[in-house]
Structure 1
Amino acid sequence: MTAKPLDPTRTDRTAWITLATLAAAYGVHALDRSIFTLLVEPIKRELALSDAQLGLLTGLAFAIFYAALGLPMARLADRWNRKRLIIISIVIFSAATVASGMAGGFVSLLLARVLVGIGEAGPTPASVSILSDRFPPARRPLAMSLFIAGALCGTTAGLLAISLFGANVSWRTVFWGAGAGGLIVALVVALVIREPQRRATEAAHEHFGTAMAGLLRIPSFRWISIGSGLFSALIVSVQGWVPAFLTRSHGFDRNHIVLFLALAWGVGGVVGVTVLGALTNWIRKRGGPAVLISVAGLIVVTVAVLAVALSTPSTPLCVAALAVAFFLMPASQGPTFALVQDMTPPQRRATATALLQLISNGIGLGLGPLATGALSDALRPHLGSASLRAALLWVVVAAGAAGAAAMVLAARRIVGDLAREDTLARAPALEPAAS
């Protein structure tokens, strides 16, 4: 069934129910992705895997298919029924997660991870597109922030489950439970979500290359994507290397690290993305440039707080500063998702989300952790065990400064981009700046 078109003056109960359901779907998406990295050691012992095989399972086996299929899946979402695509995708990656728990060796586990990557390529662009049709522009920053909070809840659930039950429950049982939860969420999506009517369909059959070229011709879209990628490099580097940093520099053990990440990144991140998403709704009344300047400011403050965490010899101060940074770091995604939806015609919205994620993940995952590790190795002969601390600090400052600058450049172009006749003809404009 297709729902009625969105009333641009209000947000009804259906919109909030849709948001809660899609956030839950994003949560199982994040849970299925995160638990594998937390279960590497017991999987390695039971299946007798090498570190190289584990690297393939945690990285390329998932990432190649996830990245390669992101844009085709998004284009399908722009042309086809988004609800059905989300359901099919959740069923695929949830069933593959269950299959991961049944793996008898490297090959079967590799095939399961490939299927997880294929399934997880579909839901996010389609979900963001649906939410953009359900929520008017003035409320999109908060809606997108709450959607992002769903992923943080999923990651937190994985961390807490491993922390509380990891020693007493088989890794296979964890996969089976996570996969079963995903299948239940797929059923809820089927029963609850209604496909909204798109507000423009005249170009629904445009060529894929035309859609891509149209997006890449928007200067502010390019700068937002680059800025998001650079900030992602900072975030992924911190996520990937802070556990080792806490172990080497502050003597943390594995259980304390998992519990700290669950509370700081999970709970703190959810609170941060919700509170700052609501604040962005207010900032948005002053126009798109104000939102992007606030994101740039968020990045600068995050860099400053992380600089304290990485520089201080005091463990309590380090932990407190990291907690503040984890409160801030996820908050940029909601506003940037919302702005990209505002500047994009409805028939390109899922494609725009996937392209933003592709550029962001390409820069973030491709540069951040690798640059940190390589720099730490290069500094080790001079700094010894402090090399990781210095490498993280340099990457955080460089990526953060460049990311903030990119957001400022986007702010300078966004009003002109939204004023283009071919964009305004089919996309809702941002509210004018307050006088």
Structure 2
Amino acid sequence: MTEPQTLAAHAIADEKAIRRRGLTLALLTTTYFFSYMDRQILAILQELIKADLQLSDTQLGLLSGLAFALFYATLGIPVARLADRFNRKNIVALSLAAWSAMTAVGGLAQNFTQLLLARIGVGIGEAGSSPPSHSIIADLYPPDRRAGAMGVFSLGVVLGSAIGTSVGGLVAAAFGWRTAMYVIGMPGVVLALIVWLFVVEPRRGLSDPNRAPDAAKEPMPSLAQGFASLAASGPALHLVAGVTLTSMIGYGLTAWGPSYMQRSLGIGVRDISLYVALPGGLFGIASAVGGGKIADWLARRHGLHAQSTMVAVLKTLALPFTLGFFLFDQPVLAIGSYFLYILFANSYLGPTFALIQGLAPLRLRALWAAITLLVINLIGLGAGPTLVGVISDLLKPSFGEDSLRWSMMLFAAVTPWAIFHYWRAGVLLKRAG
């Protein structure tokens, strides 16, 4: 093929990628939705599983935290290296099929060890989802629209947690926790085929007009260079620290929130599914999409640094409502405070991941995403739910069934630390211009 023909073919491929980027974003968001639904299904099922398999809070914390996070986070690095070299949509599709099947397999478990192995399988499969997806989205959307796109993508967190809790809880209440895992897991296998058929694989750097035209053809940096490049970026380090601390609080609340509502507020599984999970999902949608749109507007008006400052401000507004969820004894007040916490707090993912992708070298986007997720998930997902369970068990002799309430309160108290890192990232981004 001659050079003019090659350029024409690339132009056609680029035009197709841009034309179909809305569909691609929708499918990647749906994949992320299934990821979180399969990841968080244990939250609403924990009390049923605990009674059936005779588990402790520490064991439940391991199942929803460290056992999953250890494999999910560490395997994300080698998968990201593959994603920075090869076809990213194929990696996402294969991973989706694998973790969905393992979620369903968890319904067959007869003891802690078998369920642990199934959850490890889910973690291994999900390692191939987010880093390639982040990279694809960054190539499809320019910097001043990227936070909005990432905000839409982050709906996977909100909807996955809400619908997984709602559907899982309703199915479990009617047919048992094992059937709930089958129902949540198997549809993902079908979605994997749809992703493979319809998601586009864009040219790397497609939507970065300020990048050098031949940047995507530069030699692949080594793994050590990838880590070193992120470590050398002050704004990126503060963003990673901020999102990690925020995730630790969020994962702890998500994993144990339904159990807390049942134990301390007296709300049943069915009522949580209908009257907490679904409305909470709506507040989460408003936060994620609205936050992404506001972040894009702030970037165009004031510069990208304003996005990080926005997250710091919104997290500050969310803090009293986070504490209110644990301090109010009346269910109506506690759940109302929880909804307002979601509204202010759930807008952080889109701007954070968009800023990190904008700071990342072109050939290292998936790796930077994987490094970020490695830290987030080892500390946030791995330590968060696990430590909540351990601390709850330690506090139980003194506080009884309310031990979980005070355990979760300790994690909410970490919020100002996260706010500092987002504020500092904004300062450094502004200095960098």
Q: Which of residues 119, 138, 149 in structure 1 aligns to 2:144?
A: 138
Aligned-pair identity (%): 34
Amino acid at match of 1:298: L
CA distance in 2, matches of 1:151, 1:239: 10
1:91 corresponding residue in structure 2:
97
Q: Which of residues 354, 358, 371 in structure 1 aligns to 2:370?
A: 354
CA distance in 2, matches of 1:80, 1:292: 32
Counterparts of 1:277-288 in structure 2, within 5 Å, are 277-285=292-300, 286-288=302-304
Amino acid at match of 2:360: T
Residues 405 and 44 (structure 1), Cα distance of their counterparts in 2 relative to 1, 3 Å cut: closer
1:254 is displaced (CA, Å) by 3.4
2:37 corresponding residue in structure 1:
31
Amino acid at match of 2:83: A
1:317 equivalenced with 2:323 (yes/no): no
Amino acid at match of 1:262: A
Residues 311 and 354 (structure 1), Cα distance of their counterparts in 2 relative to 1, 3 Å cut: same
Aligned residues: 414
1:355-387 CA-partner distances (Å, limit 9, x unpaired): 112222333235545665676677778877766
Return 36-45 or 186-195, whichever deviates more: 36-45
Q: Which of residues 301, 311, 315 in structure 2 aligns to 1:299?
A: 315
1:122 corresponding residue in structure 2:
128
Q: TM-score, normalised by structure 1?
A: 0.84
Q: Which of residues 243, 248, 260 in structure 2 aligns to 1:228?
A: 243
Q: Which of residues 269, 273, 297 in structure 2 aligns to 1:254?
A: 269
Residues 53 and 369 (structure 1), Cα distance of their counterparts in 2 relative to 1, 3 Å cut: closer
CA distance in 2, matches of 1:178, 1:162: 7
CA distance in 2, matches of 1:2, 1:101: 47
CA distance in 1, matches of 2:124, 2:78: 11
Where does structure 1 lack aligned partners over 5 or more consecutive residues? 420-435
Q: CA RMSD in A?
A: 3.1
1:174 equivalenced with 2:189 (yes/no): no
2:165 corresponding residue in structure 1:
159
Counterparts of 1:50-89 in structure 2, within 5 Å, are 50-51=55-56, 56-89=62-95
CA distance in 1, matches of 2:44, 2:69: 17
1:433 corresponding residue in structure 2:
none
| 8 A contact 1:235–1:329 mirrored in 2 | no
1:342 equivalenced with 2:358 (yes/no): yes
1:49 is displaced (CA, Å) by 5.8
CA distance in 1, matches of 2:10, 2:98: 24
| 8 A contact 1:96–1:116 mirrored in 2 | yes
CA distance in 2, matches of 1:381, 1:57: 23
1:21 corresponding residue in structure 2:
27
| 8 A contact 1:6–1:135 mirrored in 2 | no
Amino acid at match of 1:124: S
Amino acid at match of 1:190: W
Q: Secondary structure at the match of 2:360?
A: coil
CA distance in 2, matches of 1:309, 1:178: 28
| 8 A contact 2:89–2:200 mirrored in 1 | yes
Residues 31 and 380 (structure 1), Cα distance of their counterparts in 2 relative to 1, 3 Å cut: closer
Return 259-268 or 100-109, whichever deviates more: 100-109
CA distance in 2, matches of 1:2, 1:111: 45
1:63 is displaced (CA, Å) by 2.2
Counterparts of 1:173-212 in structure 2, within 5 Å, are 173-199=179-205, 200-212=215-227
2:421 corresponding residue in structure 1:
406
1:414 is displaced (CA, Å) by 1.9
Residues 85 and 377 (structure 1), Cα distance of their counterparts in 2 relative to 1, 3 Å cut: closer
CA distance in 1, matches of 2:401, 2:182: 39
1:152-199 CA-partner distances (Å, limit 9, x unpaired): 222222222133222333544333333331111111111111210112
Amino acid at match of 1:178: I
Q: Secondary structure at the match of 1:19?
A: helix
1:290 corresponding residue in structure 2:
306
Q: Secondary structure at the match of 2:225?
A: helix
1:214 corresponding residue in structure 2:
229
Amino acid at match of 1:344: A
1:178-225 CA-partner distances (Å, limit 9, x unpaired): 333111111111111121011232345221111111111101111111
Residues 2 and 166 (structure 1), Cα distance of their counterparts in 2 relative to 1, 3 Å cut: farther
Residues 138 and 207 (structure 1), Cα distance of their counterparts in 2 relative to 1, 3 Å cut: same
1:28 is displaced (CA, Å) by 1.2
Q: Which of residues 224, 239, 252 in structure 2 aligns to 1:237?
A: 252
Amino acid at match of 1:292: S
1:278 is displaced (CA, Å) by 1.3
Q: Secondary structure at the match of 1:122?
A: coil
1:43-63 CA-partner distances (Å, limit 9, x unpaired): 5666x5644765554444322
1:104 is displaced (CA, Å) by 5.8
2:106 corresponding residue in structure 1:
100
| 8 A contact 1:309–1:322 mirrored in 2 | yes
Q: TM-score, normalised by structure 2?
A: 0.85
